Amino acid sequence: MEKRPSYLDVNLTPEDRAKDLVSHMTLEEKASQLKYDAPAVKRLGVPYYNWWNEALHGVARAGTATVFPQAIGLAAMFDDAFLGQIADIITTEGRAKYNEQAKNEDRDIYKGITFWSPNINIFRDPRWGRGHETYGEDPYLTSRLGVAFVKGLQGNGKYLKGAACAKHYAVHSGPEGERHSFNAVVSDKDLWETYLPAFEALVKEADVESVMGAYNAVGGEPCCGSKMLLKDILRDKWEFKGHVVSDCWAIKDFHTNHMVTSTAPESAALALKNGCDLNCGNTYLHMLQAYAQGLVTEADITTSCERLMTTRIKLGMFDETEHDSISYELNDCKAHHEVSLEAARKSVVLLKNDGILPLVKDKLKTIAVIGPNANNRSILKANYCGTASKYTTLLEGIQDVAGEDIRVFYSEGCHLYKDKVESLAFPNDRMSEALSVARLSDVVILCLGLDADLEGEEGDTGNSYAAGDKLDLKLPGLQQKLLEKVTALGKPVIVLLSSGSALAVDYADENCSAMLQTWYPGALGGQAVAELLFGKYSPSGKLPVTFYKESDVLPDFTDYSMKNRTYRYIESAPLYPFGYGLTYGNAVLSNLKVNRDSVKAKESVEISVEVCNESQYDIEEVVQVYIKVKETKYEVLNHRLRAFKRIALKKGENKTITLQVDSQSLEVINDQGDSIFEGNAVEIYVGTNQPDERSKILTQKEVLCVELPIIK
């Protein structure tokens, strides 16, 4: 009887199986496996595999799938446990599609189970077009949500349910138009305090299977070939064991844009020698030339091939696994739609409410729904999305929930960004209609903002003038004019702001009755928003980014210093702060307790607090813990989030919750990028928002505070 090859022995470790499998390959076969569209090695039973798949907020680009709110909306939930459930659903659908398509020998792009998600870059500047793919501006929030997403996506079984990818490593957040040649200059303090913590958490805590390098350079080294990032930090300092993939066609940039190499073989060698195992692109087609020129060794090629085969073995591609029975019927099923709907409800942020919300049906006869985003399906999808089997726009959701007894008028009002809707018409061709329906209505719901054609990835968006980034924070086109003319009528106006980033909406804040930030809320987002408007549920989202005032002058977009950026370093009062969001209820915090009278190095702090819903509405609320270490020059300018917990409270209900502030949170980052324990005391703030003056004005609430001396 012929001996079974060792690489098929399920009793061996994936690493040992991969070494054995690769040992049977020729040099040419090994080199061929380093491209994202890896050919079959039929004599060894290795099928063709395309590594490129996306799962940012649902399985993307491969047909029907559940479309959840965009990542920035998922971040606004401030709910890591629920995000983990969503990630598990996404990978369930990914497996269901993979299992079915494999039966049909369909191994095309976007049909594998290696998902290039999540995007854990820090949304440091609201002009960045891809910011809505991230979890916001805060390193701690991004870390907690990223860890939850990766664990949910990869599962905890014998085999990986899917392979997650932490991207884009590192110091990457625009400008999109310069990303192929841009060199991000960053201090050691900002690097380790802001740009690296989420990546470190995903590697060390979540055991993320892959890391994707960014397009840009850091300190003159292109990220996909950076010795500092890939070898010194990722492999040596963090002991990362998975594989590294380049961003798509990023390695070509080495010799065409960054100009650190002269030829494609040199670029391939630079990337491989520094630890980039998989090339999304075609530069690794030159790997054998690099070998022939003595730029790489066969051992270099073997190492990367072994890492890639280890991932495929961990995913069970050569075995029978517990995931093989996941049926296609689970894809896009009703239960998953309900979770997407719940996520949309949790993600919407109530920015302002003068008491008009929730709307009372018995008091309304007519509603005007106006604006370019009212019936715009694009705002439901965002980018990196799948195809939903059902979409509910904002207009459709309001029509459905309002019911037959309320007349809902509709006008587009204006184009999203052009000066007319119809090409042959005069400018402002929908303005008079909008004003007419507004006059006829008891209340106006004005649907404004952006969509993924105006903010997104370079080359992936129609916003060619800024390559996907925003030039400023203003409402585009005629939207501001529409807003001003409608509010001038004196009707109650509720603004639904749909965008993946912060907009400067000072005028709306001053002149409208209510405003909700809907983000890009997923396929059923219109239903969720309508249910919130009419009080079936209470809004409960919190801002994962700072909303700046229109008069604020942002630092230069290309400046990667954190000075005057995000809530941690902002030097003026924002319009709406990070962590802010209203509900229909009133959560009152009291009886704050900590488990120690002082803190020493390597000690964590346990906090308990009572939360009472003193209202007639059932609500969900997010308790947030911020800290600031006193008497050290290395603390952030303001304060920093270090714990949070979302809780549900029935009307009148009281709960006592506990939160942990780990010992690392009590340390600060010095100018060399080291985490140190210093200062003389730590202030701990507990509330439903951050402890800044603007939040206090908006909520009319004080946060609780305790100060603990630091003992050296």
Model confidence at 498: pLDDT above 90: yes
Average pLDDT value over all residues in the chain: 97
Using alpha carbons, select from 636, 641, 707 the residue that is nearest to residue 670.
636
Model confidence at 454: pLDDT above 70: yes
**What value does the mean pLDDT take over residues 482-511?**
98
Model confidence at 424: pLDDT above 50: yes
The pLDDT > 90 percentage for the chain reads 97
Question: 245-281 pLDDT, tens per residue?
Answer: 999 999 999 999 999 999 999 999 999 999 999 999 9
Q: What are the backbone dihedrals phi and psi of residue 329, each rounded to the nearest 5 degrees, phi first?
A: -60, -20
If pLDDT is split at 50, 70 and 90, which confidence band does 464 have? low
Q: Which residues pair with 166 in a beta bridge?
A: 211
Rounded distance, CA 499 to CA 537, Å? 22
The residues of the chain that CATH labels 3.40.50.1700 are 333-543
pLDDT attached to residue 2: 57
- The sign of the torsion formed by the CA atoms of 337, 388, 120, 453 equals negative
If pLDDT is split at 50, 70 and 90, which confidence band does 551 have? confident
Tokens of 236: 């040596």
If pLDDT is split at 50, 70 and 90, which confidence band does 466 have? confident
Helices (H), 277-353: 287-292, 298-314, 334-347
Model confidence at 174: pLDDT above 50: yes
pLDDT attached to residue 460: 75
Active site (annotated) includes residue 247: yes
Contact 96, 326 (CB under 8 A): yes
Burial 219-249 (b: 16+ CB within 10 A, else e): eebbbbbbebbbeebbeeebebebbbbbbbb
pLDDT attached to residue 1: 45
Question: 609-630 pLDDT, tens per residue?
Answer: 999 999 999 999 999 999 999 9
pLDDT attached to residue 429: 97
- In the set 247, 306, 412, 620, the catalytic residue is 247
The pLDDT > 70 percentage for the chain reads 99
Lowest mean pLDDT among 9-23, 195-209, 464-478: 464-478
Model confidence at 363: pLDDT above 90: yes
pLDDT attached to residue 5: 87
- In the set 221, 451, 455, 469, the catalytic residue is 455
Model confidence at 459: pLDDT above 90: no
Question: 215-239 pLDDT, tens per residue?
Answer: 999 999 999 999 999 999 999 999 9
Rounded distance, CA 649 to CA 620, Å? 6
Q: Which CATH superfamily is domain 587-709 in?
A: Immunoglobulins (2.60.40.10)
- The sign of the torsion formed by the CA atoms of 301, 302, 307, 313 equals positive
**What value does the mean pLDDT take over residues 400-422?**
97
Question: 574-618 pLDDT, tens per residue?
Answer: 999 999 999 999 999 999 999 999 999 999 999 999 999 999 999
**CA atoms within 13 A of residue 678's CA, in its CB half-sphere:** 11
Active site (annotated) includes residue 620: no
Rounded distance, CA 476 to CA 450, Å? 8
Pairing of strands 681-687, 704-709: antiparallel
* DSSP line for 374-441: TT-THHHH-SS--B-S----HHHHHHHHH-TTSEEEEE--S-SSSS-SSTTSPSSTTHHHHHHHHHT-
Rounded distance, CA 114 to CA 116, Å? 7
pLDDT attached to residue 515: 98
The answer as to CATH 3.40.50.1700 being correct for domain 333-543 is yes
pTM, full prediction: 0.98
If pLDDT is split at 50, 70 and 90, which confidence band does 4 have? confident
pLDDT attached to residue 185: 97
CA distances from 361 to 278, 358, 510 (A): 57, 9, 26
C-beta neighbour count of 298 within 10 angstroms: 11
If pLDDT is split at 50, 70 and 90, which confidence band does 188 have? very high
**What value does the mean pLDDT take over residues 655-680?**
97
pLDDT attached to residue 550: 86
Using alpha carbons, select from 167, 166, 307 the residue that is nearest to residue 241.
307
Model confidence at 336: pLDDT above 70: yes
